[in-house]
Amino acid sequence: MSIQQVRLHSVRLRYHEPFRIATSTSLESHNIIVRITTDSGIVGIGEASPSKRVTHETPKTVTEVLDKITPKLIGMSPLRIEQIIEMMDKRVLENPSAKAAIDIALHDILGKTANTPLFKLIGGFRKTVMTDLTLGIKKPEEMAEDALRAVRRGFKALKVKVGVDPEEDFERILRIRRAVGSNTIIRIDANQGWTVDQAIKTLERLGRFNIELAEQPVAADDIEGLAEVRKNSTIPVMADESVHSPEDALALIRQDAVDLINIKLMKSGGIHKAKKIAAIAEAAGVPCMIGCMGESTVGISAGVQLAAAIKNVKYADLDSDILISDKLVLEGGAELEASQRIPPEKPGLGVTKLDEKILGETVKTYE
């Protein structure tokens, strides 16, 4: 079996409402969809959801990078994933979301070739994955209302964005905890918004609200600072922006800088390297989360398949397609039942029908 054709699509997906975090506000997610067709007629789907802030990529750089990589894919076996990743890394440094789009499509082909849901092929540890729902930054009282609404929808865990102003962040958590009571899991994510000193003091004050974990309290490149926060915090500290690659994960673990790691396919370059990060972390006793950027249900389905497959993935934040109002996937893909994401009993990612109107014209075809 060999790769015969690769098609790229550019899609703009609007959020239900402006989504604000410590470092940015988004109205839409502009993603690149990749469709790889084999000579046996199998079509694998992948997605890049680039982040300028995190991986220094834009839709434009993703298409430029894919323009360098994709011609080399034609004629290669789609099942030789490690070989293809080696080829991509040799041709282009970094640019992980562009590479993730290819990696995800290859894993979809892998599952379809085996006529098996992907998660069953790559580990098959669990059948459903509990996701949190993310609450973007608003005024504390508005976030308390959003929190209550999420719990009423059936979500058992909330990921609360903070990292703006420590005093107001404290108020946010106080009001949310009061609104939802003690049974809802609360995670917080400062998206690098605090200084080391602010992080230590704020996490100490938040200790009484039973916070499950605190994500990326300080700047991504301040590993010493992260270690310092961790040493002084009773709340487990999770690295997100600090960890893109398996090498990053190893470096942070060696510096005792993390309790937990948030893996995202858009940072790791896809499923193959995400598994390597999870394995390194497992050996060090560091549980992982699978998170997301602004993926549609295509990319989210890949995240759900991975999270279901791997034992050391103890947390999931796979909710971007819930926050997006434009539904690219019309049939199939990861389901949502209350707080659970469920990989469908279909081959590969299980995405069976896309909205061709949202997908639009093919931007580029390679064959």
Residues with catalytic annotation?
161, 189, 215, 240, 264
Please state, in angstroms and as integers, the Cα–Cα distance from residue 95 to each residue in 22, 48, 63, 91, following that order.
23, 10, 11, 11
Cα Rg of the chain, angstroms? 20
Residue whose CB is less far from Mg ion, 132 or 189: 189
Chain centre distance of CA 319: 9
Instruction: Give me the residue whose beta carbon is nearest to Mg ion.
Output: 240
Strand pairing of 288-291 and 260-264?
A: parallel
The 136-175 contact track toward Mg ion, x by CB under 5 A, reads ----------------------------------------
Residue whose CB is less far from Mg ion, 189 or 248: 189
Instruction: Name every residue whose Cβ is closer than 8 Å to that of residue 122 and which is 6 or more positions away in sequence.
Output: 107, 271, 275, 305, 306, 309, 310
Q: How far is the CB of 316 from Mg ion (least distance, A)?
A: 13
Record the tokens describing residue 83, joined without a space.
């070989």
Identify the bridge partners of residue 5 per DSSP, sorted by sequence position. Answer: 37
Q: How far is the CB of 269 from Mg ion (least distance, A)?
A: 18
Residue 198 to residue 194: CA distance in whole angstroms: 6
Residue whose CB is less far from Mg ion, 105 or 150: 150
Record the tokens describing residue 219, joined without a space.
């700047």
Residue whose CB is less far from Mg ion, 105 or 306: 306
Residue 229 to residue 236: CA distance in whole angstroms: 10
Residue 188 to residue 229: CA distance in whole angstroms: 14
Contact between 103 and Mg ion by CB under 5 A: the answer reads no
What's the half-sphere exposure (Cβ side, CA atoms, 13 Å) at 165? Answer: 6
Q: How far is the CB of 55 from Mg ion (least distance, A)?
A: 13
Residue whose CB is less far from Mg ion, 19 or 366: 19
Which parts of 228-247 interact with Mg ion (CB under 5 A)?
A: 240
Instruction: Name every residue whose Cβ is closer than 8 Å to that of residue 54 and which is 6 or more positions away in sequence.
Output: 241, 266, 267, 293
Closest to 301 in 3D by CA, of 10, 44, 15, 25 = 44
Residue 260 to residue 233: CA distance in whole angstroms: 13
Q: How far is the CB of 192 from Mg ion (least distance, A)?
A: 9
Q: How far is the CB of 226 from Mg ion (least distance, A)?
A: 13
Which parts of 172-191 interact with Mg ion (CB under 5 A)?
A: 189
Residue whose CB is less far from Mg ion, 106 or 252: 252
Binding residues for Mg ion, how many (CB under 5 A)? Answer: 3
Record the tokens describing residue 241, joined without a space.
């922006």
Residue whose CB is less far from Mg ion, 164 or 349: 164
Which parts of 191-220 interact with Mg ion (CB under 5 A)?
A: 215
Q: How far is the CB of 177 from Mg ion (least distance, A)?
A: 20
Q: How far is the CB of 212 from Mg ion (least distance, A)?
A: 14
Closest to 258 in 3D by CA, of 293, 296, 218, 297 = 218
**Which DSSP state fits 208?**
G
Instruction: Name the residues that contact Mg ion, by CB under 5 A.
Output: 189, 215, 240
